[in-house]
Structures are given as structure tokens and as C-alpha cells.
Amino acid sequence: MEIDRRQLLAGGVAAAGALGTSTANAEPRAANIKMRRIAVEEAWSISEHQDAMAMLAAGNWPNLDAQLANPLGSRSTDRLSTRLRDIDQRLAEMDRLNIDMQILSLTSPGVQLFKADRAVALAELANDRLAEIIRAHQTRFGGLASFAPQDPVRAAREMERAVTKLGLNGFIVNSHTNNEYLDDPKFMPILEAAAALNRPIYIHPRCPSDGMAAPFRDNRTQSAIWGYAIETGTHAMRLILSGVFDRLPNLRIVVGHMGENIPFHLWRTDHWFERRRTVYGSKLKPSEVMKRNVFITTSGVEHGPALRYAIDVLGMDRVLWAIDYPYEEMEPSVTFMNNAQLTQKERSAVFHGNAEAVFHLPGA
């Protein structure tokens, strides 16, 4: 289905309605309604990964991600560092707020700052530890497997092991690796593995690559306030325009933070794609790829008009709930979704139905 100006204007009108007390289709709020709640972008770490990142932070490397790393590693007692590792505290908060399940993944930038051998070993260790947590709490956690894009062949092998041996639910990559993106042909084994295993790749943010880093070094724009969305949205658009989804129609990706700005730019991307269609690798318009191969999540965006717009433009089957814990708090995210101006069918899809389908989770 094509997107035109009238559709986007209609979406804008619907989004504006979300600011009021009701909409034409909104149904009773979910605060007191029993409904499964599955959060799909929830960060987690292990002490070995925190310590490895600390060693990078202690040097003089000007890499933006390394500069954000905690130089104390697992010795740090700050709240974020400990909450990344603390499963008991996480479960207690989930119980308090009636959150049924979280999909855990190794926190950004994952293993992607290390040399290939170290990255492969850390990914395997993290995946083994994640599988142990899931086995101990089978109804409460799922997991996204790490892999090392530095070695695409070994990455594909680890992806297969993570699904077939460990039972993990998909994969996570933290945008670029060595300033390269997954549309580069060298990474085709990774994309082919994800498609063959029928599991999605979650493209998670990290700081902008070296090629675009300079403007982000001032005013702390390199991370969540702006840089993450620019970096990750660029990665997703490279894939969308490259033609990889023509070649691998079963490949699916997930992008967080209400689509890293892509849904709100979609009319213009379609417009210019049509004007210069022959210069792009894809035969599919960006909106066609978004509606067939891409899912977005609400992580870190508790904004009714943005949620309403995303559902109206992409469809309710494209949007999944996420908190982004512990970088965001659980309670505001639950409250936002409980009170969002959605139909109960939409709320059910976003809260749990889409996650069950995308990540192959057992039903309640």
C-alpha cells in the first residue's frame, strides 16, 4: 500500500487526537486490565564485558563509544552498572509492575569495539550466560544473541549455535562495526544466516562512526539525545535502499526508539525514491520494505502522538513495546502504554502479540 500526503496528514490528525482525553477508537485503559506485557529491548551485561570495556576507556582512543564506557568496569558501584547485571532486582521490579517478560541483550556497543578473536570469544561467553539466565527463568526472559561482525563467517556460525543450541530468540548488532555497515557485501553471511534461521536482527544504537563523528563531539550530542538516532537510522536506511531485502525477502530487522526517525520521514523517502528509482539497489520503495521487513519498538519514546502516528503509517503489526531498561525506568514506560490512546486490539499487539510472533515466543 502506497503512502501519500493524505495518509500522512490523516496520521497527523490521529496523532494530535492522542494529546486529548479520548479518540474515536480508543478503548478503556489497560492499567487494570489483565494483559501480557513483553518488553523487547532490555539491556544486560556481564562483568567480563564491563571489564573489557573499561580497558578501552582507560586508553587514549578518541572513539566516541569508548569515551562513554565506565573506566571502573565491574568494580563500579554506580546504579547503572550494577542494574545491568542484577537479575533479581530486575525481576522484582517486573513483578511489581506486572511485566511478564523481557528480551535481554548485551548492552551497547556489545563486542564490536574489540579485535575479532576477542569479540568472538566475548560473544560466545555472553550468549552462554544469557542462555543460563533464560533456563533459570523460562517464562520471564528471552534473549538476543551477540555476534562478532568483525568475522562474518564465525558470526554466522555463532548465530546458528545461538538459535539451534541455546534457544535464543534473535540477534543484536550495535550499528556499525569498524565504521562499516551491514549492507556491505562482506556481511552477507550474517544476513543470510538471520534469514535462514528466521530470526530478526535488532539494530541497536551506538555512537556515530568515525566518518560522521566530528560534529557530535560538541554539546554531548553523540548519544541518546541525537547521535544514536542519526547513526542507527542511517544504518537502517542503507539496508533498505541497498536491495538486500529484494535478495532476502525473509530477512527481518528491528529498530528501536520509534523507528529512529524513519517513519516520520517516510513520505519524503518514498517521494525521492520514485524520482530517482534507477539509482538505488532496491526495487522496493522504503515504505514497502518498512511494512514487510522492518519492525520498530517504543523503547525510550513515551509519546502518544508518535505512537499513534507510527501505528497509522506502518500498521499495528509493525510496532513492539520496549522499555530500554536500565537506561530508562520501567514504571513510566508501563504507565505510558497502559494509558496510551489505543484500541485494545492495538494495545494487545504492541504489548505482546507482535513480540510473540517476531521473536518466536510461546504464548501465555
Domain harbouring 228, CATH code: 3.20.20.140
Strand 319-320 relative to strand 170-173, pairing: unpaired
Is residue 336 situated within a structural domain?
yes
91 Cβ contact list (under 8 Å, min separation 6): 137, 140
With a cut of 50, list the residues of the chain below it in pLDDT: 1-24
Amino acid at 67: Q
CA distance 39 to 287: 25
321 Cβ contact list (under 8 Å, min separation 6): 37, 38, 39, 40, 297, 298, 333, 337, 350, 351, 352, 355
pLDDT of residue 27: 65
Q: How many CB atoms lie within 10 A of CB 306?
A: 18
Give the total number of structural domains in the chain: 1
Give Dmax over CA atoms of the chain in angstroms: 57
Apex 142 CA angle, 316 and 235, nearest 5? 60
Is residue 25 situated within a structural domain?
no
Strand 101-106 relative to strand 38-44, pairing: parallel
Is residue 59 situated within a structural domain?
yes
pLDDT of residue 20: 34
Is residue 208 situated within a structural domain?
yes
168 Cβ contact list (under 8 Å, min separation 6): 127, 130, 131, 134, 142, 143, 144, 145, 162
pLDDT of residue 34: 83
Strand partners, 141: 102
Is residue 364 situated within a structural domain?
no
Is residue 19 situated within a structural domain?
no
Give the chain as a 3 state SS string: CCCCHHHHHHHHHHHHHCCCCCCCCCCCCCCCCCCCCEEEEEEECCHHHHHHHHHHHCCCCCCHHHHHCCCCHHHCCCHHHHHHHCHHHHHHHHHHCCCCEEEEEECCCCCCCCCHHHHHHHHHHHHHHHHHHHHHCCCCEEEEECCCCCCHHHHHHHHHHHHHCCCCCEEEECCCECCECCCCHHHHHHHHHHHHHCCCEEECCCCCCHHHCHHHCCCCCCCCCCHHHHHHHHHHHHHHHHCHHHHCCCCCEEECHHHCCCHHHHHHHHHHHHHCHHHCCCCCCHHHHHHHHEEEECCCCCCHHHHHHHHHHHCHHHEECCCCCCCCCHHHHHHHHHHCCCCHHHHHHHHHHHHHHHCCCCCC
- Beginning with the edge strand found earlier in the chain, give each strand of the sheet holding 253-255 in spatial order: 38-44, 101-106, 141-145, 170-173, 201-203, 253-255, 294-297, 319-320
The answer to whether the CB of 253 falls within 8 A of the CB of 294 is yes
The answer to whether the CB of 194 falls within 8 A of the CB of 251 is yes
Place of cell 506485557: 37
pLDDT of residue 57: 87
The pLDDT tens digits for 236-270 are 999 999 999 999 999 999 999 999 999 999 999 99
The answer to whether the CB of 228 falls within 8 A of the CB of 220 is no
pTM, 2 dp? 0.91
pLDDT of residue 254: 98
**Residue 135, Cα to own-chain centre: how many angstroms?**
23
pLDDT of residue 32: 61
pLDDT of residue 185: 98
**Domain span at 335:** 5-14+38-358
The pLDDT tens digits for 101-128 are 999 999 999 999 999 999 999 999 999 9
Is residue 28 situated within a structural domain?
no
The answer to whether the CB of 294 falls within 8 A of the CB of 318 is yes
Place of cell 482525553: 21
As annotated, the active-site residues are 324
Is residue 27 situated within a structural domain?
no
Place of cell 542511517: 234
